[in-house]
Amino acid sequence: MNSYALHSEYNSFLNKSNQKQPPVNLTHRNNKYYVSLEIPGIKQHNIELEISGRYLVVKAKHSVDTFYANKDNPIINERNVKDINRFIYMPVHADLDRVEPALYKDGVLYITIPEINTSLLQTKPKSIPILSNNY
């Protein structure tokens, strides 16, 4: 099993709850990673984004209007408060120190994460001295 599949299984474990998790797309194009997450009906001020290790964490709280909440004997009550805590494992080349500001539009959260410039990670060959026992 490759590491991404392993993290995908772990991600599924973290996201288990009684509620359906919002669908996520993660794509890579032009040296950037693009994440889109469907969370319709959530007000922007109720959404939090954070980085924890290699995870992009999306937290959101949705509560419906209380217009009908205090009425007598609801027959069906599926529209209630729900918390979303979604953990998205990011690829190793995602530069999580440079996440761009997110955009929330029409119920979809868009997050752009630049890729690490791998040319900066490459090192030139270098000789390493070997010390003797005689200090």
Predicted local distance difference test score (pLDDT) of residue 102:
96
From CA 99, how far away is CA 113, in angstroms rounded? 5
Say if residue 119's pLDDT is above 60: yes
Query: What secondary structure does DSSP assign to 79-95, as a single string?
Result: ---EEEEEEEEPPTTB-
Say if residue 80's pLDDT is above 60: yes
Starting at the earlier edge strand, list the strands of the sheet with 103-105.
Answer: 24-29, 32-38, 108-114, 103-105
Across 28-49, average pLDDT: 94
- Sequence spans of domains, the chain: 3-67+79-117
Average pLDDT across the chain, whole number: 80
Instruction: Kindly indicate whether the domain formed by 3-67+79-117 is annotated with CATH number 2.60.40.790.
Output: yes
Which SS3 state, helix, strand or coil, does residue 14 take?
A: helix
The model's confidence at residue 34, banded by pLDDT at 50, 70 and 90, is: very high
What letter represents residue 18's amino acid? N
Q: Which residues pair with 62 in a beta bridge?
A: 82
- Cβ count near 109 (within 10 Å): 22
Predicted local distance difference test score (pLDDT) of residue 7:
52
Q: Which residue has the higher pLDDT, 69 or 41?
A: 41
